[in-house]
Each structure stands twice: as structure tokens, then as C-alpha cells.
Copies of this chain bind each other. A is one copy, B any other.
Amino acid sequence: MPVVTIQMWTGRTVEQKRALTRAITDAMVTHADVKPDGLHVIIQEIPKENWARAGVLGIDRKDV
């Protein structure tokens, strides 16, 4: 019954979110020995201008 919170950039499709949350649920059941009922996977979508890596905002990065 754990809670998994994903922080990532905005922009995934519903189909990606569907596959991602299913795969993470499977990983939790397989490896952490939890029951799926009551297991939450929550996606927090963060705009690129609100996320810095190594001190550089996503909107300012050249490598992504």
C-alpha cells in the first residue's frame, strides 16, 4: 500500500502515463512485496521553468 510520487517535466501523453504507472505498480508488487490495492502512483508535472539541474533552469538548458 505504498505511495509513489513522481516529479517530472510536463509533456507525457495519457498513454505514456498509463503504461508508466502500470509498470511502476508491477515493480512495487514484484520487488517490494506489497498488495496493489491501496497502492498509489502520483505524477507531479513540473514546468521546465520551475526545475533547475546543476543550477540551470530547464528552459535555459541546451542539452535537452
Contact = CB atoms under 8 A, between A and B. Distances in A.
Classify chain A's interface size.
35 or more
A5 B7 contact: yes
Interface of A is mostly: mixed
B40 A16 contact: no
A34 B7 CA distance: 12
24 contacts: A1-B8, A1-B53, A3-B6, A3-B7, A3-B42, A4-B5, A4-B24, A6-B28, A14-B49, A14-B59, A16-B32, A17-B57, A23-B26, A23-B30, A25-B52, A25-B54, A27-B27, A37-B54, A39-B55, A40-B40, A43-B46, A43-B50, A44-B44, A44-B50
